[in-house]
Chains A and B, each alone.
Chain A
């Protein structure tokens, strides 16, 4: 296989795995028997997940070589999903 491409995919996978471990770190903060609501943990968990999804889109699913329309649509979905999820969560915390 094209060595350059192989290396690139490996790096992508390692980065994604490292981010997952980072999420484990985030989730372990202040983790006692009784969990408490935490805006920072939630926000960073969702944001990290969305960044991971974007990396999967662009690298694994090859959206970076796809027509601009597809790039825009995937990014639009990420923004809409992120805004909806965080928006609903924060609205619920404030209420």
Chain B
């Protein structure tokens, strides 16, 4: 496995990585610490396992799952997804801006990411409150157990994501820091929250 130092050697300080698909294509690289991808793959596999357990439980009592699933608010789910996709877009812009040394723009986009993440957080809490208000809790039935479990474990990833974004903002803040590697590593973590949610959305809200 290559280290961050190798990446640093490939792209020394000051050289802008042009990844716009032009003719001057640099060597292939992993954004951020390759180490973060170990986390991404490990978590991705763990979630595949959770999803599999969910689908198998579902196929054992399909009617119960469908009946409870009808109580979810599909539009809220779509809204959640759109917001998280927007946050991923913003963090990708932030990384690109930092790469081009336009740190003002990078910082703005990082704050935009935080904002979208916060909107997701609030809408998730409101959604839970609404479900609980209707009497659907963690122990109501098997569907709601999985619903609260998957959304909550994702929510914990989101909360850690705020710490991770804070690290990125801290890096961007002062000219003394601004490690492109750390910023890209943080972005990779944030995208993980996004792509896991895309799957959770399809499995909890859409599938039948």
Contacts and interface: CB of A to CB of B under 8 A. Distances in A.
Interface of A: 1-2, 4-6, 8-10, 12-13, 16-17, 20-21, 23-24, 26-28, 31, 33-38, 41-42, 45-46, 48-50, 52-53, 56-57, 59-62, 65-68, 70, 73, 77, 80-81, 84-85, 88-89, 91-93, 95
Contacts, number: 161
Contact of A49 (B28, B78, B199): B199
Interface residues of B, number: 56
B195 A41 contact: no
Contacts of B82: 17, 20
A13 B70 CA distance: 29
Contacts of B56: 88, 92
- Chain B interface mostly helix, strand, loop or mixed? helix
Contacts of A68: 28
B88 to A, nearest CB: 5
Interface stretch (B29-37, B151-159, B166-174): B29-37
A1 B74 contact: no
